[in-house]
């Protein structure tokens, strides 16, 4: 059975949503660029902070969806170096004779 994200339609949808998020991030960045010169360095209000965070999130999520698409759900093998290993004390408790 094919999972929903493995279909061609879902891939096109994800990439379309990614392009829309990038466009929204661009519009937010343009608005932020218009507001920034009027603000003094100590006057970074909540609106400027919100717009900055929204632009960053839209750009990050949009680029991931646009460029990777359905590949976001691919399984990857993690190197043994980065796998979680139980601390030595916990391993000794689980395997008393080892």
Q: Quickly list DSSP for 31-86.
A: HHHHHGGGS-TT---HHHHHHHHHHHHHHHHHHHHHHHGGGGG---PPPGGGS---
Overall pTM > 0.85: no
Q: What CA–CA distance (Å, rounded) separates 2 from 52?
A: 38
**% of the chain beyond a pLDDT of 70:** 79
| Per-residue pLDDT band at 97 (split at 50, 70, 90) | low
């Amino acid at each position: 059975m094919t999972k929903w994200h493995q279909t061609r339609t879902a891939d096109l949808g994800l990439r379309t949503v990614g392009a829309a998020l990038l466009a929204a991030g661009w519009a937010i960045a343009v608005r932020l660029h218009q507001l920034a010169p009027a603000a003094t360095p100590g006057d970074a209000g909540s609106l400027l902070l919100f717009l900055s965070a929204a632009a960053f999130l839209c750009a990050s999520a949009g680029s991931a969806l646009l460029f990777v698409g359905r590949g976001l759900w691919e399984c990857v093998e993690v190197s043994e170096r980065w796998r979680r290993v139980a601390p030595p004390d916990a391993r000794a408790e689980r395997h008393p004779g080892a």
